[in-house]
Amino acid sequence: MLNVFLTFDVEIWCDDWDEVDVEFPSAFARYVYGRSSKGSFALPATLEVLQQYGCRGTFFVEPLFACRFGTDPLVEIVGLIRRAGQDVQLHLHPEWTDEARPPILEGATIKRQHLFQYSLEEQTRLVAKGKAMIEAAGAANICAFRAGSYACNRATLQALERNGIRFDSSINPGRAWSGTDFGAAERGQRVVQIGRVCEYPITVFQDRPGRLRQVQIGSTSTSEMLHLLQQAHAQRRHAFVIVSHNFEMLVPGSSNPDAIVVRRFKALCRFLSENRDDFPTVIFPELSAVADEGEPPVLTSPLWRTGLRAIEQARRRLYR
């Protein structure tokens, strides 16, 4: 049995930091709902597909934007997810820190994009603030975290421990800046206990010699994902962590659905539903802390699958 984590980073972005107040209403509508003549293919469609196939997902919600725009939009996001019976956990993009009114951190007047650019004390305060905001918005049992852009360091896990958060899913071996001060044994693919925090790394695979790629619905083909799931199952791995976003089924820069990504997501959920005994979808609140005994072999996808995906991605760009 391979525990599959369907994880979604829920974020809202404006195109220009100088115009955030003007742009936020339209950005919220697109990133959260993605309404078009074909339906709402952001959060609503994501939640509907999960419900249709009986799959469970973890939605890592970024709350710091609400320090600029008020809590009502955050309450709306959390409410959508909770009413669909899905799990809400914490996600932080500290780019919002200097936009907060009033300030979260004293002297935070310049933009620092990554959590590892903040001290342990600053990270502890940011995690505490984000956790309190998510809980106030209606979520319960906040026990898991993901750093924005996977930009964590050892201080991040210490900040989580100080805030009573037991699970992290920030380590991404395919990103050079993710967990750079972790040891090699802590920055791989096995589930590992670091202090009092249990790390569930993003699942990555080698799609060509020397390159690791994260398993992400918007950038990994259906054929690759199903092949990798079977491979990880054969390796007797403990966990398989898939990444997505609230806006992943949208054509970038618009509210129109991306038909290829929509088909991928539905095909993945259909496979997981039909094979739930071997590939159950799990969420963090139901877990106990465990650690794998050794580092599993690197997952690989043959070059011909990589080539087919490249063709599929080219078709996506062509038909936008």
Q: What is the pLDDT of residue 319?
A: 59
Q: What is the pLDDT of residue 9?
A: 98
H or E, element range at 228: helix 222-234
Tens digits of residue pLDDT in 109-122: 889 999 999 999 99
Q: What is the pLDDT of residue 81?
A: 98
Q: Which residues of the chain have a pLDDT value below 50?
A: none
Q: What is the 3-state secondary structure (H, E, C) of 234-302?
A: HCCCCEEEEEEECCCCECCCCCCECHHHHHHHHHHHHHHHHCCCCCCECCHHHCCCCCCCCCCCCEECC
CATH number of the domain within which 123 lies: 3.20.20.370
- Using only the alpha carbons of the chain, give its radius of gyration: 19
Q: What is the pLDDT of residue 209?
A: 87
Residue 32: C-alpha distances to residues 94, 208, 235, 254, 256 (Å): 20, 34, 37, 12, 13
Print the domain residue range for 284: 3-318
Tell me how far apart the alpha carbons of residues 14 and 27 are, in angstroms, rounded to a whole number: 6
Sign of the dihedral defined by the CA atoms of residues 105, 110, 113, 117, in that order: negative
Tens digits of residue pLDDT in 279-318: 999 999 998 767 677 888 999 998 888 888 878 777 777 6
Tell me how far apart the alpha carbons of residues 23 and 1 are, in angstroms, rounded to a whole number: 46
Domain count, the chain: 1
Nearest CA to 315 among 252, 248, 258? 258
Q: What is the pLDDT of residue 320?
A: 60
The distance between the two most distant Cα atoms of the chain, rounded to a whole number of Å, is: 53
